[in-house]
């Protein structure tokens, strides 16, 4: 292809005469210094406030007028350059950029096509190696773009270098070893979980998150011990509760079926045999009901085989039934 850039285009000659600004700089500087000297160090007071305010207004107007003139001079000086720049961009730079942009678009299309071809080679190579190793064929999908660079291929060919193939083999082997280790660790966790009577899923998730098998087994042992302690505590509490309920039940039976020694109300004879189940007791003792009649006095000799305790019971019963009694000597 003919080299079209080797022309006189790069030797464009421009006749440029720098602008010259004629101004009496010394006179203007002297006037500025005189104005500064007039008001430098002058104290503003209530008496001079109005005067100074008006003078400041005048000086601001003068300053603005000078700035306006400066900008006019600058615009006049810059105008030839602005005209040149506009012409240069429209007639020289833009046409050249349009051509180079078209070239770039064409080159990029070819580069992208070749890159996609190399990606296909890398993908197929990784998938074949993964299938041989027995691992998921898309395991290294995130490596396709990286290994599609030209430096991994033989020059001018869609063929991977031997060093590239060796790197890919190392990656596949490392992944295979990691997968085998994961399977073995997962099985160890499942077996340990079965032995400890623990759910394995949560511990397998720790393995997937990158936690080591040693740490996971320690965690499982700690959880097992805590579960055993919890069950033992629960059993102790259950046993204590059962004993408490049994004791309450036993006390209830004893109170309901208590053997009470009784006596004959007429003869005072102790009834050694038989069990009386007491009726629910009220705080007020039952009192015998009878119709009033002539008092009856009899002499009665009693032998109390229950001793003083039985005597107290007899006296209580006699009093409850309004029976007067006295103890005779002898």
Residue 326 lies in a domain: yes
Tell me whether residue 313 is in a domain. Answer: yes
Say if 124 falls within a structural domain.
no
- Predicted local distance difference test score (pLDDT) of residue 292: 58
Rounded to the nearest integer, the mean pLDDT of the chain is 83
81: Cα separation from own chain's centroid: 63
- pLDDT of 261: 47
In a domain, 316, yes or no: yes
Predicted TM-score (pTM) of this structure: 0.48
Length of the chain equals 330
Interval 10-23: pLDDT, tens: 667 778 788 788 88
Helix extents (H) in the chain: 25-39, 49-88, 94-133, 162-196, 201-208, 213-256, 307-320
Q: Which domain holds residue 265?
A: 260-276+297-330
Q: Could you tell me which residues are beta bridge partners of residue 160?
A: 153
Classify residue 314: in a domain, yes or no.
yes
318 in a structural domain = yes
Within a domain: 94: no
Cβ–Cβ under 8 Å, residues 104 and 129: no
With a CB cutoff of 8 Å and minimum separation 6, the contacts of 179 are 135
pLDDT tens sequence across 164-205: 999 999 999 999 999 999 889 999 999 999 998 888 999 999
Distances in whole angstroms, Cα of residue 235 to Cα of each of 170, 196, 231, 232, 248: 56, 18, 6, 5, 20
| Residue 197: partners with Cβ closer than 8 Å, 6 or more residues away | 224, 227
**Facing residues of 271 across strands?**
262
Low-confidence ranges of the chain (pLDDT < 70): 1-11, 256-294, 329-330
Q: Determine the pLDDT at residue 251.
A: 84
Number of domains in the chain: 1
What is the pLDDT, as a whole number, of residue 294?
67
Could you tell me if residue 267 is inside a domain?
yes
């Amino acid at each position: 292809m003919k080299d079209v850039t080797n022309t006189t285009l790069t030797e464009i000659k421009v006749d440029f005469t720098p602008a010259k600004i004629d101004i009496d700089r010394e006179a203007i500087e002297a006037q500025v210094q005189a104005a500064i000297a007039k008001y430098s160090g002058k104290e503003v007071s209530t008496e001079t406030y109005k005067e100074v305010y008006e003078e400041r207004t005048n000086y601001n107007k003068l300053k603005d007028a000078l700035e306006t003139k400066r900008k006019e001079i600058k615009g006049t000086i810059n105008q030839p350059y602005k005209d040149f720049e506009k012409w240069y961009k429209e007639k020289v730079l833009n046409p050249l950029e349009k051509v180079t942009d078209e070239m770039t678009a064409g080159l990029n299309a070819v580069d992208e096509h070749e890159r996609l071809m190399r990606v296909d080679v890398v993908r197929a190579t990784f998938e074949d190696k993964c299938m041989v190793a027995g691992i998921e064929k898309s395991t290294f999908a995130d490596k396709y773009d990286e290994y599609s660079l030209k430096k991994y291929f033989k020059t001018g060919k869609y063929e991977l270098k031997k060093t590239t193939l060796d790197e890919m083999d190392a990656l596949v082997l490392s992944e295979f070893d990691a997968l085998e280790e994961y399977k073995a660790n997962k099985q160890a966790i499942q077996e340990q979980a079965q032995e400890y009577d623990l759910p394995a899923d949560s511990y397998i998730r720790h393995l997937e998150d990158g936690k080591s098998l040693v740490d996971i087994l320690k965690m499982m042992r700690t959880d097992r011990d805590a579960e055993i302690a919890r069950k033992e505590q629960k059993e102790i509490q259950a046993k204590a509760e059962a004993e408490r309920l049994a004791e309450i039940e036993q006390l209830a039976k004893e109170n309901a079926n208590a053997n009470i020694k009784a006596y004959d109300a007429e003869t005072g004879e102790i009834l050694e045999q038989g069990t009386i189940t007491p009726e629910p007791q009220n705080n007020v003792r039952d009192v015998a009901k009878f119709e009033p009649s002539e008092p009856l006095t009899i002499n009665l000799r009693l032998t109390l085989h229950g001793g003083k305790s039985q005597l107290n019971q007899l006296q209580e019963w006699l009093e409850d039934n309004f029976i007067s009694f006295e103890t005779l000597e002898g």
